[in-house]
């Protein structure tokens, strides 16, 4: 199979959520360009609108968010719906914890099973009150109000937990200090610093010092490295050609999958790397080569957590074994991604085995065929969609439309890349 051309993947999901939230909380208008127009980002926009923020329909074109200021959010007349989006729900929990009203937060079937006490615990320690109707999941009611500062040692290497605490500190105007077991994506820190706030990072510790106003600021959202990984994998597994992925965020907290692909033998290089609005971006050029299995170490996991389904599928086409450990967090993503990856690899004829905190995949070049059950998980659909695009494979995806969560144009971009 020959691949060619340029793919401009859509805006980064993590940065899109944060750009909307910080735009809403700033004073004055913030212009956002390159926003990801997907269902998850729509969940954040709808939640902010319900809290009184005026904003147009989400769009990758210039979008103006009219900030209401740190104390400007108003109680919603109805439940706040996080949809399928963990980032919307957990980051907004931090914001809501500092607002002097109660908010009931709901979500779809997948989000409702995902753990929320990882954010309610630190936010409760800061002075908010949470009510759960269903164990650790949604619905939850956040009773917000005056908070006090906190030093929190997080059990989870989770940028969502870190960001919830930082946003609570920001809105409540109190100091916070977060220690994480491993370094996680630092977009919140970069964006707060870019807006003039005092946020300091040292290793796996981050502190927020209150006292400065949150300025409105324009944001150019770079392309999403998690979305780019699918096309990097496609190019890696093709027989000839090359794909250029333009304007991809190269923030080192997000690029672990490219480091792993490089180690697996893929020909991959960055061009035109530059700084864009506080984040490094560049063009990633990827071409096929013989791919060999690898060991993905626990310390690498936070930098490639969302890319593991795709890396598992690359492992299924590699020479030898690919092994991942230290990734138990995969069990509480949009689906149990350890089970979903292994069961689906087996369903299409590959050899794979679950570990409590990861998986082992045996590579082979025999044709893969069968039906993939996505459990509504966008990254499962796209990872197996790439395998299905390879000649000789015949893979049916049960719910191809679930890609709308992070990459609505995925199937069109895939068709163009292999034309």
Where in the sequence numbering do the catalytic residues fall?
306
The smaller minimum CB distance to ligand S3P, of residues 260 and 318, is found at 260
Give the x/- contact pattern for ligand S3P in 143-172, rule: CB under 6 A. ---------------xxx--x---------
Q: Does 40 bind ligand S3P (CB under 6 A)?
A: no
Q: In this chain, which of 305, 350, 372, 418 binds ligand S3P, going by CB under 6 A?
A: 305
306 binds ligand S3P (CB under 6 A): yes
Q: Which helix (H) or strand (E) holds 392?
A: none
- Which is nearer to ligand S3P, 164 or 368 (by Cβ)? 164
- C-alpha distances (whole Å) from 91 to each of 62, 78, 165, 349 are 24, 19, 8, 39
Asked if 89 is part of the footprint of ligand S3P (rule: CB under 6 A), the reply reads no
Does position 261 interact with ligand S3P (CB under 6 A)? The reply is no
Question: Which residues are paired to 156 by β-bridges?
Answer: none
CB closer to ligand S3P, 169 vs 293 = 169
Q: Figure out which of the listed residues 185, 195, 254, 317 binds ligand S3P, where binding follows CB under 6 A.
A: 185
Going 137 to 357 to 350 to 288, the CA torsion angle's sign is positive
87 vs 344, beta carbon nearer ligand S3P: 87
- Provide Rg for the chain, Cα atoms: 21
Count of residues touching ligand S3P (by CB under 6 A)? 10
The residue among 291 and 405 lying less far from ligand S3P, judged by its C-beta, is 405
DSSP character string of 284-304? EEEE----B--EE-GGGGGGT
Whole-angstrom Cα distance, residue 419 to residue 358? Answer: 35
C-alpha count within 13 angstroms, C-beta hemisphere, residue 39: 20
Q: How far is the CB of 45 from ligand S3P (least distance, A)?
A: 15
The CA distances from residue 396 to 131, 289, 400, in Å, are 41, 26, 9
Which residues pair with residue 248 across a beta bridge? 223, 282
Phi-psi group of 91: left, alpha or beta (phi > 0 → left; psi -120 to 50 → alpha; rest → beta): alpha
Kindly state the smallest distance separating residue 87's Cβ from ligand S3P, in Å: 4
Tokens of 129: 């009150």
Could you tell me the smallest distance in angstroms from the CB atom of residue 86 to ligand S3P? 6
Q: Which is nearer to ligand S3P, 159 or 313 (CB)?
A: 159
| Distance in Å, CB of 223 to ligand S3P, minimum | 15
Residue 270 CB-density burial (10 A; 0-12 exposed, 13-18 middle, 19+ buried): middle
Distance of closest approach, residue 205 Cβ to ligand S3P, in angstroms: 17
- Of the candidates 14, 110, 250, 283, which one interacts with ligand S3P according to CB under 6 A? 14
Considering only 16, 42, 87, 219, the residue that binds ligand S3P (CB under 6 A) is: 87
Instruction: List C-alpha distances in Å: 14 to 10, 18, 64, 259.
Output: 12, 6, 18, 20
Which residues contact ligand S3P (rule: CB under 6 A)? 14, 87, 158-160, 163, 185, 305-306, 329
């Amino acid at each position: 199979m020959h691949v060619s051309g340029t793919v401009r993947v859509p805006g980064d999901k993590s940065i899109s959520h944060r750009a909307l939230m910080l735009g809403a909380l700033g004073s004055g208008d913030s212009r956002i360009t390159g926003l990801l127009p997907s269902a998850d980002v729509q969940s954040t926009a709808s939640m902010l609108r319900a809290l009184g923020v005026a904003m147009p329909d989400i769009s990758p074109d210039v979008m103006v968010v009219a900030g209401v200021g740190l104390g400007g959010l108003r109680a919603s007349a109805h439940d706040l719906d996080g949809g399928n989006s963990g980032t919307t729900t957990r980051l907004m929990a931090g914001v809501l914890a500092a607002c002097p009203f109660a908010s009931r937060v709901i979500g779809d079937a997948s989000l409702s099973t995902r753990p929320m006490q990882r954010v309610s615990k630190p936010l409760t320690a800061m002075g908010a009150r949470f009510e759960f109707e269903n164990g650790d999941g949604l619905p939850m009611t956040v009773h917000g109000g005056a908070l006090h500062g906190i030093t929190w040692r997080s059990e989870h290497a989770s940028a969502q937990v870190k960001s919830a605490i930082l946003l609570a500190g920001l809105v409540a105007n109190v100091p916070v200090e977060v220690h994480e077991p491993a370094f996680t994506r630092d977009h919140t820190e970069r964006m707060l610093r870019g807006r003039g706030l005092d946020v300091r990072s040292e290793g796996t510790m981050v502190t927020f010092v209150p006292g400065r106003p949150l300025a409105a600021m324009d944001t150019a959202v770079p392309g999403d490295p998690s979305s780019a990984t699918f096309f990097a994998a496609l190019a890696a597994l093709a027989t000839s050609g090359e794909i250029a992925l333009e304007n991809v965020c190269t923030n080192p907290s997000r690029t672990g999958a490219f480091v792993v692909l490089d180690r697996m033998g893929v020909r991959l290089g960055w061009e035109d790397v530059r700084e864009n609005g506080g984040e490094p971006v560049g063009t990633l050029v990827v071409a096929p080569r013989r791919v060999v299995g690898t060991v993905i170490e626990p310390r690498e996991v936070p930098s490639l957590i969302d890319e593991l389904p795709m890396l598992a599928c690359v492992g299924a086409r590699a020479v030898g074994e690919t092994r991942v450990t230290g990734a138990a967090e995969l069990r509480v993503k949009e689906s149990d991604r350890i089970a979903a990856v292994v069961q689906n690899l087996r369903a299409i004829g590959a050899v794979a085995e679950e570990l409590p905190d990861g998986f082992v995949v045996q590579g082979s070049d025999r044709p893969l065929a069968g039906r993939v059950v996505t459990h509504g998980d966008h990254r499962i659909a796209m990872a197996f969609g790439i395998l299905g695009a390879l000649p000789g494979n015949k893979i049916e995806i049960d719910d191809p439309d679930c890609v709308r969560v992070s990459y609505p144009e995925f199937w069109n971009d895939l068709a163009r890349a292999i034309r």
